Amino acid sequence: MLAVTSHGLKDMRVEDVPRPGLEQSTDAIVRVTTAALCGSDMHIYHGKVPAVPDGWVVGHEFCGVVEDVGDAVTGIKPGDRVVAAMYTACGHCAACVAGDHRRCKSFAMFGFGEAWGGLQGGQAEYVRVPLADMTLRAIPEGLSDESTIFTGDILATAFTALRQAAVREGDFIAIVGAGPVGQLIAMCAPLFGVARAFIIDIVPERLAEGAALGAVPIDSRTESPRKIIKEQTGGEMCDAVFEAVGNAPALQTAFSLPRPNGVVALVGMPLGEDFPLSAGDAWLRNTKIVPVLGAPFAHRDELLRLIAAGKIDAAGIITDRIPLAGATEAYRAFDDKEVQKVVFEVSK
């Protein structure tokens, strides 16, 4: 079968690899119909993720049709259309019951190599899905792949960020970075009742998209986010700030925006970056710092409800639809910021 495989720094290939089969009675085999290219895949592309063996199948956002299931799988059956969470977990250990699936001994992320659980990814024609009753959700009738695929990762991440930052009705928030995750935060923010969301970027098209979602756009090349937000909040500044880029300038901006006793949520993966303030200054400003790992298990069911009810249109962030065979070029174009959110149309 065709699959996107990693071969080190900036070397993603579309190759023919063996089709996976069932290994455990709790597995499912999914024929992938749609997969997505996620910003975090670029950490593999840039060689920042350790222990990704040569030829590893990548990808952790995907929808498909169940092809086969193990004996113990009861929640889904062959023929069901499903969307996967970006990682798997058992669902019954103490960590899972506490909603902290990352600490589950069965935790494994699709397509992230040995250090993240040794699970082949979903940018492929077929994928083996462990603990299928937990990992997969049936796509509600009438909903498309594109409208639901992001419940497995970046939409769940945006929603998790808003929840973990404890955003409430009447809050002022700022989103630093108007990429896919930043836009989904802007899209979900009205569901949390924000009085005003500010979105900050340096790319006019992205800012226009943020504005279309109801956020106040701020171009940080020409404007001071802190100054504008101070004016527009009557001096109160932000209850919560979402850092959705992961680099030093974005961190710098993010930490300049919360009110005393406010929150900065780290949604971008700031690998290798320092904090832009000292512990002493964090204390004096009373700024809470909340790293966010998306929690699809905790939130996908309400997200699917909201999508079915027409309250979230996550497919709207998709900019490019490409056959799987074009993945090598898609990674390059994404890295060069020529495309924003790519889905691979794998099969029908």
**Binding to its own copies in span 295-334, by CB under 8 A:** 297-298, 301-303, 305-306, 308-309, 311
Q: Does 94 bind its own copies (CB under 8 A)?
A: yes
Cβ proximity of 182 and 161 under 8 Å:
no
Q: Does 102 bind its own copies (CB under 8 A)?
A: yes
Query: Residue 294 is which amino acid?
Result: G
Q: Does 240 bind its own copies (CB under 8 A)?
A: no
Of the two residues 216 and 322, which places its CB atom closer to its own copies in the complex? 216
Q: Rule CB under 8 A: which of 124-143 touch its own copies?
A: 133-134
First-to-final CA distance of the chain: 15
Of the two residues 91 and 316, which places its CB atom closer to its own copies in the complex? 91
| Shortest Cβ 346–its own copies spacing (Å) | 26
DSSP 204-237: HHHHHHHHHTT-EEEETTTS-HHHHHHHHTTT--
Q: Rule CB under 8 A: which of 242-271 touch its own copies?
A: 251, 259-261, 266, 269-271
Q: Does 290 bind its own copies (CB under 8 A)?
A: yes
Q: Does 230 bind its own copies (CB under 8 A)?
A: no
The residue range among 52-60, 273-281, 313-321, 329-337 that interacts with its own copies, by the rule CB under 8 A, is 273-281
* Tokens at 220, concatenated: 């940080």
Compute, in degrees rounded to 10, the torsion defined by CA atoms 87, 89, 94, 96: 50
User: Bridge partners of 320?
Assistant: 342
What is the β-pairing status of strands 81-84 and 288-291?
unpaired
Of the two residues 169 and 231, which places its CB atom closer to its own copies in the complex? 169
Cβ proximity of 335 and 45 under 8 Å:
yes
| Shortest Cβ 332–its own copies spacing (Å) | 25
| Shortest Cβ 237–its own copies spacing (Å) | 10
Q: Can you tell me the distance from the alpha carbon of 260 to that of 323, in angstroms, rounded to the nearest whole number?
A: 48
Query: Which of 294, 307, 171, 315 minimizes the C-alpha distance to 244?
Result: 294
Q: Does 274 bind its own copies (CB under 8 A)?
A: yes
Of the two residues 3 and 30, which places its CB atom closer to its own copies in the complex? 30
C-alpha atoms less than 13 angstroms from C-alpha of 253 in its C-beta half-sphere:
28
Cβ proximity of 145 and 82 under 8 Å:
no
The residue range among 15-23, 184-192, 200-208, 330-338 that interacts with its own copies, by the rule CB under 8 A, is 184-192
Q: Rule CB under 8 A: which of 7-26 touch its own copies?
A: 24-26
Single out the residue of 289, 315, 322, 333 in contact with its own copies (rule: CB under 8 A): 289
C-alpha atoms less than 13 angstroms from C-alpha of 237 in its C-beta half-sphere:
19
DSSP 88-138: E--SSSHHHHTT-GGGSTT-EEBTS-GGGT-B--SSBSEEEESSHHHHEEE
| Shortest Cβ 314–its own copies spacing (Å) | 14
Q: Rule CB under 8 A: which of 150-169 touch its own copies?
A: 159, 168-169
Of the two residues 57 and 83, which places its CB atom closer to its own copies in the complex? 83
Q: Rule CB under 8 A: which of 54-83 touch its own copies?
A: 70-72, 74-75
Q: Does 86 bind its own copies (CB under 8 A)?
A: no
Q: What is the total count of residues that contact its own copies (CB under 8 A)?
A: 71
Q: Does 275 bind its own copies (CB under 8 A)?
A: yes
Cβ proximity of 255 and 264 under 8 Å:
yes
82 three-state secondary structure: strand
The residue range among 15-23, 60-68, 185-193, 339-347 that interacts with its own copies, by the rule CB under 8 A, is 185-193
Query: Residue 139 is which amino acid?
Result: I
Q: Rule CB under 8 A: which of 187-216 touch its own copies?
A: 188, 190-193, 195-196
